[in-house]
Each structure stands twice: as C-alpha cells, then as structure tokens.
Amino acid sequence: MVSHMDSKIITILQKSGAINNKAHKFAKKLIKPDMSIYDIGTKIDNYIIEQGGFPAWPVNLSVNNQAAHNSYSKDSDYKLDENDVLKVDIGVSIDGYITDASQTIVFNKTHEKLRECTFKALESSKKYLEENYKTAKISKIGEIIEEKIRSYGYKPISNLTGHYIDRYKTHDFPSIPNVLSDLDYKFSEFDKAFAIEPFASDGNGFVSEGEKIYIFEFVEDKAIRNQGARQILEEIKKFKGMPFSEYWVGKDLGEFNRKVALRELLRSEIISGYPVLMDKKGCFVSQWEDTFIIDLKEGLLDLVNIHELF
C-alpha cells in the first residue's frame, strides 16, 4: 500500500482541478442550441489558457451517438440542435499535471433521465470511494457503475473505461472499467490521480471507431522530408506527448500545407490519431467524469467537483 502523494503535486493538481471546474461552468453557461462545435471548442480551450492552465487535449464535444474524441474542426459546420445530447470532456494541464472531467448537456427534457443515470453512477462511485478509500477496489467501481446505469434502463458502454493519469500522460495503467471485472487492484496501491467516467447508452453499449479524426498524438521521432511536417513535428514535441489539435500547430503554413504535413506525419507513424468513438447510429450516449486522489492521511480528494454542474 502506498503512502500518499507529494503535497506539492497535490497542490498543482488542485489548481488544475479548479481551472477545470471553472471551464465546465463556463461551458455550461456558454453552450446553447444553434452554436457551432468549432465556436464552442475554441472558446473553451482559450478560456482554459486565460485561466492559467493548458488544454491537456482539444476539448471533446461528442454529440448524440458519439461517445468520445469528437472535437472542433473548420471542416465541420455542425451546429447543435434542440434534441442533441452533448458530452463536454475537458482536460487541464499545469506543468503536465492533468485533471480530467466531463459533463453531459441536454436541451430536451426527454434526455434528462439518460443524463442523470451517468451522474448518479459517478456519485455512487464517489460515495463508495469516500467510505472505503483504504480498501476500495477497481472491480467494485465497475459493479457499482453497471448496476446504477442498468437500473435506469440503459447500458453501460463496456469498452470505454476510466483510467489513471500520470504527468503528461492522459491515460495510464490500470484502466477502470464501467462494468463488473476481475480487476481487484486497490486504489490505494497507486500513487497517482485517477478518473472515473461512466458512459451510458440507449444503443448497443459498445463503441467502434468512426472515420473522422480531430485529435492527434506524438508517437516517435523519425526523419521526414516534408519541410512543413518537420516544422510541425518540432511544435508537437512541446506538448510532451499530450494530444493536440491540428489548429494548435503550423499556423503559418496555411490550411492546405498544414493538412498535407499532418497527413505525412500520420503516414510515417510519427503521430497517431484518435478516431471519433461511436455507438450505433440513431442512439444517444451520456457521460460524467471526475478526477480523484486517494490520500491515506486525508482520504478521497475530489479534484474537479464536477457534481456542482448537475
């Protein structure tokens, strides 16, 4: 069993969490029907920077059957509809120390039950962790989440999970399933922050990769001939492995040359992409997420307090 995290790191993570909380409140106030995903995404990412943090990834704005990894793009002029279910997934980095949180926004009351079920699954998970922080197991969290979501008549998404978070690393071992599993690790065994993120669906409860890619990540350094690709590669390295948007790099290359350079980096496997993850067409998905620390002296520390947004 680990002792507890360095107090200086906890302080930085708490600052990150406070910015994440403010960004979510900003998003909730900002987002309305008829707004474009591009406008929403750029405003949220800029807000994080204005508050003294940095987006740990381009804000995820996943609509309806999209569960994760949809983000803003000038190539898409999608505007929100009154019947849409929007997942807003925000990561905030301060010096590589990351907090991760998401909320579901709906405009139509017919989706409120779906929104509520993932929130209640997260709240039930938090309660279990608070009461059993020294002995709490990952397998029990999956059981709690699955039971709560199914009690509402929906399906937990079985191939999406919560996760641990390390410095500059958004997803680290071990994963935290949203269904019952045999992962009997105790949370107190790991000296890192972790994210619990229930997903619920009225579809298959299983996601697959779509064709669209709006989020990228550095894989490894290689020689490449394209001058624009070399320029972007040097910019990418500054993110130290954290995911990025094409609009964060190559701003002086122009639209066409930037896309050519990114395509070359993908082809050479210098970077990889995060395809949009989707359940079946026509269904709806909800998500809530928060980041926590287990401290054996203080107990469970809730870094973002995303419950304030419900």
- Ranges of the chain whose pLDDT falls below 50: 1, 3
Catalytic site residue from 264, 279, 289, 295: 289
Name 292's Cβ contacts closer than 8 Å, sequence gap at least 6. 126, 129, 193, 194, 195, 196, 300, 301, 302, 303
Which pLDDT tens digit goes with each residue over 49-102? 999 999 999 999 999 999 999 999 998 889 999 999 999 999 999 999 999 999
- Identify the pLDDT of residue 148: 98
Of the candidates 45, 100, 146, 295, the residue annotated as catalytic is 100
CA 101 to chain centre: 6
Q: Judge whether 163 counts as a catalytic residue.
A: yes
Q: Is 266 helix (H, G, I), strand (E, B) or coil?
A: helix
Instruction: Report CA Rg, the chain.
Output: 19
Catalytic residue among 84, 116, 166, 171: 171
Task: Establish whether 252 is a catalytic residue.
Answer: no
Looking at residue 221, what is its pLDDT? 95
pLDDT given for residue 76 in this prediction: 85
- Let me know if 100 is a catalytic residue: yes
pTM of the model: 0.96
**Per-residue model confidence (pLDDT) at position 259:** 93
- Topology, domain 212-275: Arc Repressor Mutant, subunit A (1.10.10)
Predicted confidence at residue 216, as pLDDT, reads 98
Closest CA to 70 of 62, 79, 58: 62
Q: Which listed residue (111, 146, 163, 246) is catalytic? A: 163
The architecture of the domain spanning 7-207+280-309 is Alpha-Beta Complex (3.90)
CATH 1.10.10.10 residue ranges for the chain: 212-275
- Choosing from 123, 197, 279, 295, which is the catalytic residue? 197
Catalytic residue among 89, 146, 264, 290: 89
CATH 3.90.230.10 in the chain: give the residue spans. Answer: 7-207+280-309
